[in-house]
Amino acid sequence: MNKSSKEIAGYTNWRKKLILTIIWGSFSIVVINFICLNFGVVSVHPKEIFSLLWGSSHDKTNSLIIWQLRFPRIIMATLTGIALSTVGGAFQGILRNPLADPYILGVSAGAALGACTAIFLQYATGYFLTPYLPLFALTGAMLSIYLVYMTAKVRYRLPLEGLLLSGVTVTFLFSAIITILIALSEKGLHSMVFWLMGDLSTANWNKITIVTFPVIVGCLIFFFFSLDLNALSLGEEEALHLGVNIKKLRLRIFIIGSIIIASVVSFTGLIGFVGLVVPHIARLLVGPDHRVMLPTSALLGAIFLPLCDTLARTIIAPSEIPIGAITALIGAPVFIHLLRRKSTKNGL
Amino acid sequence: MKFCNKLILTIAFLLLILSSLLSFSFAEASNYPLTIIDDTGSAITIPEEPQRIISTAPSNTEILFSLGLENKIVGVTNYCNYPEKANNVEKIGEMTPLNLEKIASLKPDLILGYGLYQLGEIAPLKEAGYNIIIIEPMTINETLKSIRMVATICGITEKGNSLVESLTQRINKIKTKTSNIDISKRPKIFIGGIYETIWTPGEGTLFNELITLAGGRNIAASLPGWAKISPEFVAKEEPEIIIIPIGAMGQVDESNIKENISKHAGWSNIPAIKSGKIFVVNEDLFYRAGPRLIDGLEKLYEIFYE
């Protein structure tokens, strides 16, 4: 396969854009992380935070608050932001649908069903299953992906409408089962509902170690599909002519995306809107070339989610607002604005 | 090598159990360090008498206050509204998710948690070496045991014993009054609510135990846990007394609630509605696993028989 054959006219200067994006993005992530570190119910002086980070301060309480509670949470938010935005962008690409998000193909419903099953079984059987919850979530995500794929595939093709509809249907089906589990489980109810709302407060370094690999590696792999995604954005037939194996591409992005989302979502629960809105913002900023758009969207996600989480934990401190509410509250108006702008531009 | 490891582990484990048993039997003298086994079955060693206590549940707060430990409480939840003085203590936020930063910043030397879900949430503090005791009483007896446990941890075993003693006496008083009442003469009780959907306490709940102790027959006694029931079920069971537990007493119009219940479709033939035996009570007396459960018990007896 000759890569240059997939080049699309107009997508020039991508190297320059990418390098700029990465430099700006990494810089912003560091700054945002540090800013977020400064906000919390307990105020710790920035100077003290610096010395805690350098290891020159030994205040036990502050060190616990910054190193074990606040920092892991921010890092987890960063990773989750990267994962949701990248997968959202890639899914929008393979589905050729601007309304696609990481959850639209049932991955989240599967992961949620897995997690809720684990919680349900824990209370029903008495086995302490919490440590295996991510495994359950991943299994659930895989199951949903398999179901969606099997329902959608027509011989050697994965038609778009079928894929979307089966994704939505599987989501409904799994949500129904989750509802039943919630109705049956009195003691687990609390944990389940909480999980479904999305929550970063349980982040710790162990979880981050587990999540980092699939997120970073998965998102890097997505980057190598950029050219194929670019070709696909021209249309299925055009992509076929350019030598893209659409079925394989969809399948791969599906599977890798589901692994990324399952690994993140099983620790954080369902955080909405990030995966839908951030890729659009990225597209608006750097254009539709996936080689630049996907990394930009990852970096924007890494900035957006820690900020939302910081708001979620400080606005009504010491109480917390579920992060899903904040992302939607900020995300929805931005999204509406973008949609309006685009439609007026196109003269619609 | 493997065998050796196992042996060491087994011995260590036995020693741990032995030491906890020993410390329990010597607990009377309240000599620290003290090892306590909490309601989740984990052993916690309390190095010295706690001076800065955080309660993460209203029931725990009420236990602490009833033991006269108010000067040692440094943090309570947003929901801790009893006794009045609990409102003046610094707030740590919700019961869930727990705000660990806030808790850590108050530098507690004892955290009284509630329920398995909090154990999961509070894990980072546990790893950091904070003393965390999880209390989750399922019955009145276990609640009394929890009161004793808190007293022991705080070095006031005697006070705990006398509080539990007086609570037990009050329970026994009700018990002797109701023990001779024939089953068929006990009133049928329905615990309702102010919402359309009816959740009622069934078998295994503190509320159900209190109803039974007070000499009532809970119409949902055979259903497990908090059960969602249909209005039909209520109509069929024909309760003689309806009890409506509500939070925030005094802020809602009682007569309004009673009128709503009496007008419920299909319930006009229920004896309780015909005779107007609908009572609005403060839910905290029945939901919070603390000393005020006994107030709730007496309240129920009063409603049933006086």
Q: List the domain boundaries for chain A.
A: 3-345
Return all residues near A211 (Cβ < 8 A) that are at least 6 apart: A76, A79, A80, A83, A263, A264, A267
Instruction: Give residue A317's pLDDT.
Output: 77
Q: Which positions in chain B have a beta carbon within 8 angstroms of at least one beta carbon in chain A? A: 78, 91-94, 96-102, 104-105, 107, 116-117, 120-121, 123-125, 127-128, 224-226, 228
| Rounded average pLDDT over B16-31 | 53
On the 0-12 / 13-18 / 19+ scale of CB atoms within 10 A, A291 is: buried
Query: What local confidence, expressed as pLDDT, does residue A348 receive?
Result: 44
A325 in contact with B at a CB cutoff of 8 Å? no
Arithmetic mean of pLDDT, B102-114: 93
Q: Does A194 touch chain B (CB under 8 A)?
A: yes
On the question of a cis peptide bond just before residue B33, with omega within 30 degrees of 0, the verdict is yes
* pLDDT of amino acid B257: 87
A320 near B CB under 8 A: yes
Identity of the amino acid at A9: A
Integer Cα distance of A333 and A343 in angstroms:
15
Better-scored residue on pLDDT, A343 or B226: B226
Q: Please say if the pLDDT value at position A26 is more than 70.
A: yes
Tell whether domain B181-305 is in CATH 2.40.50.140: no
Percent of chain B clearing pLDDT 70 (strictly above): 89
**pLDDT mean over A143-166:** 80
Is CATH 3.20.20.70 what the domain over B29-164 is classified as, yes or no? Answer: no
How far apart (Å, rounded) are the C-alpha atoms in residues B296 and B299? 5
Element containing residue B72 per DSSP (H, E): none
Helix (H, G, I), strand (E, B) or coil at B263: coil
How far, in Å, CA of B143 to CA of A171, rounded? 43
Domain locations in chain B as residue ranges: 29-164, 181-305
State the pLDDT at residue B108.
94
Please give the single-letter amino acid code of residue A236.
E
Give the angle A199-A205-A210 at the CA atoms, nearest 5°. Answer: 85
Name the most confidently modeled range: A25-39, A75-89, A236-250, B92-106: A75-89
Does the structure's ipTM exceed the value 0.85? no
Q: Beta strand pairing status for B241-246 and B188-191?
A: parallel
- Minimum-distance CB partner of B94 among A69, A191, A319: A319
Q: How far apart are CA B202 and CA B232, in angstroms?
A: 17
If you average pLDDT over every residue of chain A, what do you get?
83
Q: Cis peptide before B108, with omega less than 30 degrees from 0?
A: no
The DSSP output letter for A5 is: G
Tell me how far apart the alpha carbons of residues A286 and A19 are, in angstroms, rounded to a whole number: 12
Identify the weakest region by mean pLDDT among A107-121, A148-162, A200-214, A307-321.
Answer: A148-162
Four-CA torsion B194, B198, B199, B200, nearest 10 degrees: 90
- Do the domains B181-305 and B29-164 match in fold? yes
3-state secondary structure of B189: strand
- C-alpha span between B188 and B169 (Å, rounded): 26
- Across residues A204-209, what is the average pLDDT? 87
User: A199 vs B97: CB contact, 8 Å cut-off?
Assistant: yes
Q: Which of B124, B224, B226 sits opposite A68 (nearest CB)?
A: B124
Name the least confident of B8-12, B195-199, B298-302: B8-12
* Spatial contact of B38 and B20, defined as CB atoms under 8 Å apart: no
Considering chain B, what is the average pLDDT of its residues? Answer: 87
* A6 neighbors A230 (Cβ within 8 angstroms): yes
Q: Is B111 exposed, middle or buried (0-12, 13-18, 19+ CB in 10 A)?
A: buried
* Beta-carbon separation of A64 and B99 below 8 A: no
Does residue A2 register a pLDDT over 50? no
pLDDT score recorded for residue A248: 83
The answer to whether residues A192 and A130 touch, using CB atoms and an 8 Å cutoff, is: no
Question: B227-254: per-residue pLDDT in tens?
Answer: 888 999 999 999 999 999 988 665 677 8
Nearby residues of A250 by Cβ (< 8 Å), 6 or more positions away: A94, A158, A163
User: What do you get for the CA distance between the two ends of chain B, in Å?
Assistant: 72
Q: What is the pLDDT of residue A302?
A: 94
Residue B11, pLDDT score? 63
The shortest CB-CB distance from A41 to any of B101, B128, B224 is to B101
Per-residue pLDDT, B166: 95
At the top level of CATH, which class does the domain A3-345 belong to?
mainly alpha
